[in-house]
Chains A and B, each alone.
Chain A
Amino acid sequence: MTTVAELPAGFADKVLSAQSTFRSVMDAMARPGSVQRIAAVSGTPGTMMRGTAAVALTLFDHDTPVWLDKRMSATPDVAKWLKFHTSAPVIADSSISSFALIGDPQYLPALEYFAFGSNEYPDRSTTLILQVESLAQGPSLELRGPGIDGAVILRVSTQPQDLFERLAINVSLFPRGIDVVLVDDDAIVAIPRTARLAAREG
């Protein structure tokens, strides 16, 4: 049994680490497709990447039910760590989760299993935090929309590749929809529901 003393650490400086992490996430969300860095350092339980851990410590608390995919819940480490450091309830029903941690996109269920919010309250939706193979190389993806001056190219490598085609439901659902934060180690990229995605050659 893991004792509290054996759990990976949280932020050493809770206040300023959370602030700098939030600014990275906010910049990412305000400029979809741009790669932002997370400078704050914390322990990482199980298969959780540095960026994912920092985002969790920054945004999760008792008000945010969290859903874990098969990879994240393969061992109880992640759930225990989240519970201890953030008090976020880890729940089995993804459709009422505020955040979903996807350790391996192969295990990403159909997006319909998550909350899209309602037309009256589109903010009551699930934000996916999705760990990918790389945010530096891979197939090119063109993003357009609010926060982007014209168009921006993002290179992202992930399985399954059809993830971004599935996100096209955001177009017809708007203002309901799913916001995604992609994580690769300490790099993050946000794809809010307003982003319009298209695959690009090269």
Chain B
Amino acid sequence: MNAPAYNFAYLDEQTKRMIRRAILKAIAIPGYQVPFASREMPMPYGWGTGGVQVTAAILGPQDVLKVIDQGSDDTTNAISIRKFFGKTAGVATTTATNDATVIQTRHRIPEAPLHGGQILVYQVPIPEPLRFLEPRETETRRMHALGEYGLMHVKLYEDIARFGHIATSYAYPVKVNARYVMDPSPTPKFDNPKMDNCPALQLFGAGREKRIYAIPPHTSVVSLDFEDHPFTRYRFDAPCALCGAGDSYLDEIVTDDKGGRMFVCSDTDYCEGRQSAGHRGSESAVPHKERAHG
């Protein structure tokens, strides 16, 4: 049988229309979570069903897709989603941030600056930034309607009272276009400043929670803070052990059971790009060579 068993980019057209309408509303109301009729996808919740549905609704044959998971192009989640769209939509895929037109991401924003022709699609587990402060949807919805975000500031204040500084290190709440408080998904707060005035369109999809939201290009995104405790980025105080980068977000890798560890770029494309440009870190090995046999 030659006929494909599924539609282009997997989703049926009625589902795509519904998601597309939600995306348009999300762009028109930056930071507002638009409810949508999320579908079951051929992967479990938590593997990016929201992001996959958004990507499926926007993707065209001319797009070049990159998928990252915690900055990495080569983890199971990233590879399986990339293959999924390679198979169902036949799109070209890449690991190079600069070449991609659509980048689906789980919990990182690439280090390389994004440009205007790109769309960044976030996989979101819990879209509601107020959810752990107020479990009732009716109440959080009213708080958003009234712009009543005092509770979030109390939470950040409690951080200061307990730890002496704002200890929230990921999913750090932001205010979009001076109106809606939004969860930037569990990206490290290191990435928050990249969302502000970004030339690329940013779309967020939460599959299990059935919400889509967006940040249009060139939109103000401000991390919540206090005058005497301003927002700060956090980064391990070390260069990348593989490429020596002093400005990238680092993962900590435990190397033995004696306390040994190394720090490497979380963004694999950025790290590999720097290594191929000749940058070396403290742990760089000489390029691997196959041993000759016989």
List the interface of chain A (C-beta within 8 A of B).
14-16, 18-20, 22-23, 25-26, 29-31, 58-61, 63-64, 98, 118-123, 125, 127, 145-149, 174-175, 177, 179, 192-194
Contact = CB atoms under 8 A, between A and B. Distances in A.
Interface of B: 7-8, 13-14, 16-18, 20-30, 32, 34-35, 57-61, 141-142, 144-146, 177, 179-180, 199, 201, 214-220
Contact of A29 (B17, B27, B57, B61): B27
Given A18-B16, A122-B32, A123-B32, A26 B23 contact: yes
A101 B28 CA distance: 19
29 contacts: A16-B60, A16-B61, A19-B59, A19-B60, A22-B58, A26-B23, A26-B27, A30-B201, A30-B216, A30-B217, A58-B20, A59-B17, A59-B24, A61-B17, A98-B21, A118-B145, A120-B141, A123-B25, A123-B29, A123-B35, A125-B25, A145-B177, A146-B220, A149-B218, A174-B179, A193-B28, A194-B28, A194-B29, A194-B30
Contacts of A118: 145
Nearest to B14: A61
A120 B29 CA distance: 12
A29 to B, nearest CB: 5
Given A18-B16, A146-B177, A30 B29 contact: no
Contacts, number: 109
B139 to A, nearest CB: 11
Contacts of B18: 61, 63
B60 A20 contact: yes
A25 B24 contact: yes
A106 B217 CA distance: 33
B145 A193 contact: no
Given A147-B27, A175-B180, 4 more contacts: A22-B16, A30-B217, A59-B20, A146-B215
A148 B16 contact: no
Contacts of B61: 16
A15 B8 contact: yes
Given A16-B8, A120-B141, A148-B218, A26 B25 contact: no
Closest 5 pairs between A and B when the two form their complex, measured CB to CB: A147-B216, A119-B145, A192-B28, A146-B219, A123-B25
